[in-house]
Amino acid sequence: MRRVIYNYLLLTIIAFLGGACNEEKGIFQIRDHAFYLNGKSVQLICGEMHYPRIPQEYWRDRIRRAKAMGINTISTYVFWNIHERQPGVFDFEGQADLGKFVKIAQEEGLYVILRPGPYVCAEWDFGGYPAWLQQNEDMVYRSRDPKFLNACERYINRLGKEVGDLTISNGGPILMVQVENEYGSYGNDKEYLSKLRDMLRNAGFNVPLITCDGGGQIAAGSIEGVWPTINGSTGEDIIQTLDNYVPGGPYFVAEFYPAWFDVWGQPHSVRNYEKPAKQLDWMLQHGISVSMYMFHGGTNFDYTNGANTAYGYAPQPTSYDYDAPLGEYGNATPKYYAFREVIQKYLPEGEKLPDVPEENPIISFPTVKLAQSAPLSAAFTKRIKTRVPLTMEAVHQDFGYIHYETELTEQIKDGILVLKDLRDYAVVLLNGKYVGSLDRRHRQNKLRISVDEIPARLEILVENVGRVNYGEDIQNNLKGITDKVLLNGKEVEGWIVSPLPLYQADVRKFNWNDASVKGSPAFFKGTFHLDKIGDTFLDVRGWGKGAAWINGHSLGKFWYIGPQQTLYVPGPWLKEGENEIVIFEMEDQGCRTVCGLDKPILNDVRKDKNAPERETKYDEQEPILDRGDQIYEGQMEKNADWQTFMFNGKKTLRHLCLEVLSSYDGKHSCISEIELLDGEGKSLSKDYWKILYASTEQKGEGYADQLIDGDVHSYWHSQWQSTASHFPHQLIIDLGEIQVIGGIRIKLRNSQAAGCIKDFRLYGRPQFFLFRNRK
């Protein structure tokens, strides 16, 4: 059956190409277990690079460096959300001039694989989808939802008008076009994929189409008439897996990973070149075509980085260096030369790779004082009065920041301010003074606040730190305060909302003042003189969290937690003579100077002031659990569905102890999430819950807080590194107030993962549990 499908694919592609191509314009075919270019078999050695992540002035430079390493084909995603930022309004100019990028590749003698999605992932905001899709609350992305498909078709048709004439069949360099991206990891809707395939065909992309998926997801992600490729596999696994779908090949690894991307607050990703060089050697030796993801990563200029949520919210930084063979600023790394040496081995006899271009000039500049400032209000252009906070999408904003302001008229002592569903980072001000900040990465949504003088002005500045680009959470990507604000349990109403995209704002035209703003979000400006220009790296150590511009060009965002402590400044964005720097600071650290370094700092992780402090001696004490406090005893089934347990009568308590007596693996405990139910079976709010005690937790991966954070992707896990703790495992939760509960819902992490709990008990007290020292 698989060979029948294979033959059908082959005949479909050959028949299509036979009618669309001629000798003058070029023919790319998939036949006889090989890729054929103008009648000759060809092995594709591709390098992924993304035009928006490279300054337009350097597109040709980076492509020449790819050719010098041995790359013969450039692979690039197409990013819908930079081409259609508002519905029906398209941009294919300047940094978004995809056609120019493709033509430069052809001028330099390279071919192109186009990956237009419309979903691309790519550690890019919303996986490439435009934020305005979310204005339709009923729309379902990555599905056959007609509303979604209509938007996709409009984009794909316009894309065809822009670059459809650049296929190899029309005399251009585009050899193949990808349908969707790793869809098999998300779903298996063949009708949805087929509709996208047909849209691309109808838009004029008259070359072979491909899909790409992990080896285990090819069946779900492939469709008729489209050639399946594989991501991430190496060695014999490539052939063994692809033979199930395209017996005998040609085999194409559409994403070979020589390294990985970074995450804010975590060390820079680095992978030694030796092993990937050997893997590349094996593939080339066995005639396998390959695309390196990434060959050259570049930079997330403006605010285009994405985020993942598989293990909690984890946004990517501005640098997309990726530890790729060609570094962020076009620097040839040891990995570059190792790969170049491998590729040189497989060139036809007598052929030689072109010389590696000389490095671009690198400069530094001395300390510059940013002596002028402008308040946050200088960026206010639209003020919207509303009863409740509005999301970014509700005010037609995609990237940047959003400001909320209201007036409080009641005095409050030690109150609790709750930002329901905060996305993603908030700075809170009261009467212009900094109160605190909240970070979605740490599942923070509340802080203590006192209102002494009334009326009081409450301000909340929220940053979109990056929309989720992978997994089911792409369906839930609104930004700002996405629900409501509570103060001591009462909803706060009557807001003024100010969108602050900033990438659109001309920060150079603010009314600047020599009197420095202190202690609140603000803009700071300075100038410096250059006698010569070159690439440099803006040193932002000492600053807090914000963004920077140089001569009006956005350098992207910075964050003191690292790992990057510099921002890449492309030489073409500088000029001889006077240059201007503007920095936006969300949380004033008092720094007012910057300088330009001749090397980037990409691996300097610093202490995160928002990270919760953790107790490290839980195991020295244990709670005294009186049988009279026992409210339930039950047993979990070994599955990952929510499991509900109703009590025999309602229970009144403030402090709840969960005691795990056993698990299915006999060693560990692991729970994704719990909820308490009222007498009618409705879930109770967890806004004020707090973990008071955990007899065991796995540092870094399974903190007890993650049991009650509302995120089913995170989890509490008993200690498993070094020595596993013995049963029973106990957790105590403070509900914040005495509550009446009628039951509990528990969700395990994964039925196949270690630690699925089995037998458990619940204890409840209106007061604190007593403790005793462990013997």
Give 532's pLDDT tier (boundaries 50, 70, 90).
Answer: very high
At 28, the amino acid letter reads: F
Task: Name the nearest CA neighbour of 523 among 580, 472, 572, 607.
Answer: 580
Q: Quick check: 310 and 123 in contact, CB under 8 A?
A: no
Give a three-class secondary structure readout of 387-398.
Answer: CCCCCCHHHCCC
- Under DSSP, is residue 765 helix (H, G, I), strand (E, B) or coil? strand
Nearest CA to 631 among 762, 735, 505, 724?
762
Q: Between the CA of residue 402 and those of 54, 141, 555, 584, 631, what are the distances in Å?
A: 27, 25, 20, 14, 46
Provide the token pair at 125: 């905001």
The reply to whether 255 belongs to the active site is yes
The pLDDT score that the predictor gives to residue 13 is 40
Q: Indicate the domain borders of the chain.
A: 2-345, 365-374+505-597, 382-500, 618-773
Per CATH, which fold does 618-773 belong to?
Jelly Rolls (2.60.120)
In the annotation, is 137 catalytic? no
Domain 382-500 has CATH 3.40.50.720: no
Residue type, 363: I
558, 548 in Cβ contact below 8 A?
yes
For the cut 60, the answer to whether the pLDDT of residue 437 exceeds it is yes
Instruction: Report whether pLDDT(649) > 90.
Output: no
pLDDT, mean of residues 304-311: 89
Task: List, in sequence order, every residue forming a beta bridge with 490; answer none if it has no partner.
Answer: 487
Nearest to 193 by CA among 160, 226, 168: 226
- In the set 48, 162, 180, 182, the catalytic residue is 182
Q: What is the CATH number of domain 2-345?
A: 3.20.20.80
Structure tokens, 633: 């005893």
pLDDT at residue 265 greater than cutoff 60: yes
Question: What pLDDT digit, counting tens, does each position of 193-211 carry?
Answer: 999 999 999 999 999 999 9
Taking the CA atoms of residue 196, residue 139, residue 444 and residue 693 in that order, the dihedral angle to the nearest 10 degrees is -90
**Taking 90 as the threshold, does the pLDDT of residue 491 lie above it?**
yes
Tens digits of per-residue pLDDT, 346-404?
999 889 999 999 999 999 999 999 999 999 999 999 999 999 999 999 999 999 999 99
> Residues 48, 84, 180, 255: which is the catalytic one?
255
Rounded Cα gap, residues 295 and 49, in angstroms? 6
CATH architecture type of domain 365-374+505-597 = Sandwich (2.60)
> What's 276's DSSP letter?
H
How far, in Å, CA of 701 to CA of 417, rounded?
28
Least confident of 232-236, 358-362, 488-492, 502-506: 502-506
> Pick from 362, 351, 323: which is nearest to 339 by CA?
323
Q: What is the pLDDT of residues 100-144, one digit of tens each?
A: 999 999 999 999 999 999 999 999 999 999 999 999 999 999 999
Beta bridge partners of 425: 439, 463
For residues 737 and 169, give the distance between their C-alpha atoms in angstroms, rounded to a whole number.
70
Encoded tokens for 642: 């929510």
* Per-residue pLDDT at 335: 98
Q: What is the pLDDT of residue 725?
A: 80
Given this chain, do its domains 2-345 and 618-773 carry the same CATH topology?
Answer: no
Q: What is the pLDDT of residues 591-602, one digit of tens each?
A: 999 999 999 999
Is the model's pLDDT at 722 over the cut of 70? no
CB-based contacts of 664, cutoff 8 Å, min separation 6? 638, 756, 757, 758
